[in-house]
Amino acid sequence: MNMASHKDIEFVIFDVDGLMIDSERVYTDVTNEILAQYGAEMTWEMKAGLMGKPQRPAAEHLLSFFPKIPLTIDDYLAQRTAGQDARWPYVQLLPGVARLVTHLAAHGIPIAIATGSVRRNFERKTAHLQHVFVHFGGYAVCGDDGAGRGKPFPDVFLAAARALGRAVGPNEEGDVVGDAEREERARGLVFEDAIPGVQAGKRAGMNVVWVPDENLLSVQSSQVTEQPDQVLRSLEGFVPEEWGLPPYDDMVAQQSRTE
């Protein structure tokens, strides 16, 4: 799917977990270590409903599948936090992320982060990856920053756009948004890996590139009610000029040599 050829993007917003860093593997491993104590396991069908949500609603959703397990939401979150904190210093960037972020920053394209993660977790996940995350210049909206409702609501993406100085208006969607605000929102591009994030981006009136895990694509592609504008297997497949963004410098050089 590719609906990008007519777009003219002026600002870009990134999700983090599963899109920029390989943290979804950590979430899965830690959660299943906790559930294994009770002879249970999280399937991909269950995980699909958790991705992109703030941590407490996600925990409530997960534990709803295991009503007989004597584990409170607070106990689960405490165990999960401890297991994740031990792994965050080793989480790696996903393919294509460093190249895209550094390229956009080098060309002066405004970029921001919009994540459902609480700020303490975001900082722990990215502290060792500052050679990439430094390019965001502090423009990061986290799940506990008071931006509004979590994904699939549009609030976090609109807050990130406002942080970049874009006149996108309040956390509203549909007919209540003015024409000028709607046009401004349409100048934004969102990168997401989770279904609630795709929904949030589209409800924010922005363009969305969906980069799902193959497991997610197989279990939930039919449930995408708000369709993304493009689907990629990896950010390595992103072509900036299809969106009115500057082409990668090495591609420009290669084209010059062939002319």
Answer yes or no: is pLDDT of 172 > 70.
yes
pLDDT, tens digit (0-9, with 9 covering 90-100), for 121-154 = 999 999 999 999 999 999 999 999 988 998 999 9
pLDDT for 123: 97
Inform me whether the pLDDT recorded for 10 exceeds 50: yes
Instruction: Name the pTM for this structure.
Output: 0.89
Instruction: Report the amino acid identity of residue 234.
Output: S
More confidently predicted of 259 and 79: 79
- Known active-site residue 15: yes
- Cα gap 248→21, rounded to integer Å: 21
Report which residue type is found at 69: I
Residues 6+ apart with CB under 8 A from 113: 13, 14, 15, 16, 122, 133, 136, 139, 140, 141, 160
Q: Is the pLDDT of residue 256 over 60?
A: no
Is the pLDDT higher at 31 or at 252?
A: 31
pLDDT digits (tens, 9 = 90+) for 25-46: 999 999 999 999 999 999 988 9
Q: Which of 15, 155, 193, 213 is catalytic?
A: 15
One of 8, 17, 85, 249 is an active-site residue; which one?
17
**What pLDDT is attached to residue 71?**
95
Q: Per mean pLDDT, which range of 29-38, 54-63, 157-166 is the poorest? A: 54-63
Is 249 noted as a catalytic residue in this protein?
no
The rounded Cα 47 to chain-centroid distance in angstroms is: 15
